Structure 1
Amino acid sequence: MKRVWIAVALLLAVLAGTLSHSFYLNSFTQELTGLLEAAEAKAEQNEWASAEELTQLAHHKWDEKTAYLHILLRHSETDEVYTSFREVAEFIQCQEGGEYSAANARLIAELELLAEAEQLNLKNIL
Structure 2
Amino acid sequence: MVKVENKTQFNRVINGVMVKRGLNDLLQKDFNKVKKALADPLIKPLVADGQLVIEDVQQSTKTTPATNVSTSAPIETPDVANMNVADATNAIRTISDESVLEALLKSETTSANRKGVVDAIKAKLK
> Over alpha carbons, which structure has the higher Rg?
1
Q: Same fold (TM over 0.5)?
A: no
Higher relative contact order (CA 8 A, sep 6+): 1
Q: Which has the higher strand share?
A: 2
Using structure 1 for the length normalisation, give the TM-score: 0.32
